[in-house]
Amino acid sequence: MIRTQISLTKDEYVAAKREAARLGISLAELLRRSLRTALPVNDTKPWMRYAGMVETGDPASSRHIDDVVYGRKD
């Protein structure tokens, strides 16, 4: 990862910290997730739109990730 520095207003910082705590994640992870939603998706890698965001509740979902991302091919 590349480390970077940003400036936030006090209100933005407090609100972001509160939301990160509510989600049980770090402030850095909250900001990364926020950027992912704001940046254009790389259409050559359709699975990237779900990177770090898909929660199926199935502990074995990594075994059939194509079904999770692209849907079943019945």
Residues 31 and 54 in one domain: no
When divided into structural domains, the chain yields a total of 2
- pLDDT of residue 2 exceeding 80: yes
Residues 35 and 46 in one domain: no
pLDDT in tens, 40-68: 766 676 666 666 655 666 667 667 767 76
Asked if residue 68 belongs to a domain, the reply is yes
Asked if residue 3 belongs to a domain, the reply is no
Residues 35 and 45 in one domain: no
User: Where are the extended beta strands (E) located within the chain?
Assistant: none
Q: Give residue 26's domain range.
A: 8-39
pLDDT in tens, 16-46: 999 999 999 999 999 999 998 888 766 676 6
pTM score, whole prediction: 0.56
Asked if residue 21 belongs to a domain, the reply is yes
